Amino acid sequence: MTNNINDRLMHELSIAISIVDSVINQAEIASADSVSEVELDIGILSGIEYESLEFALGVASKATILEKTLFRINRVEAVAECPACQHLYTPEGMFSHCPECNKQGVRIIRGGELQIKSLLVE
């Protein structure tokens, strides 16, 4: 571990701490003894660096019941809807043109996910 983990992790550490807190809370509600897997949906437009989040989860789960838990991160690809013709497409960025009608303007309907999907508990 580097001395300046926060310099490297930025907001991913806060996010990882939120995930660990929520999962422990959910596990307690379900009276689970252990959590073997946590499945996360993280959109590519959520502002999260996947590698940093994985590293941060390792840091945040240390000395908790999640220390040995496997965190499975699903990468959710982006889907945009054209505001003009409602065509659904994969945007190349925030400035894509609709492949159907060529209008500019992107309404992102998927890809911003930051969600704890499921837990595998015992």
**Angle ∠(103,43,72) on CA atoms, nearest 5:** 155
In the region spanning residues 52 to 71, those forming contacts with other proteins, defined by CB under 8 A, are: 62-65
Contacts of 70 (CB under 8 A, 6+ apart): 36, 37, 38
Cβ-based nearer residue to other proteins, 26 or 89: 26
For every residue of 3-40, DSSP letters joined together read TTHHHHHTHHHHHHHHHHHHHHHHHHHTT-S-EEEEEE
Cβ-based nearer residue to other proteins, 65 or 89: 65
Residue 25 binds to other proteins (criterion: CB under 8 A)? yes
Least separation in angstroms between residue 104's CB and other proteins is 7
Binding stretches for other proteins (CB under 8 A):
3-7, 10-11, 14-15, 17-22, 24-26, 28, 30-34, 36, 40, 45-47, 62-65, 93-95, 104-105, 114-122
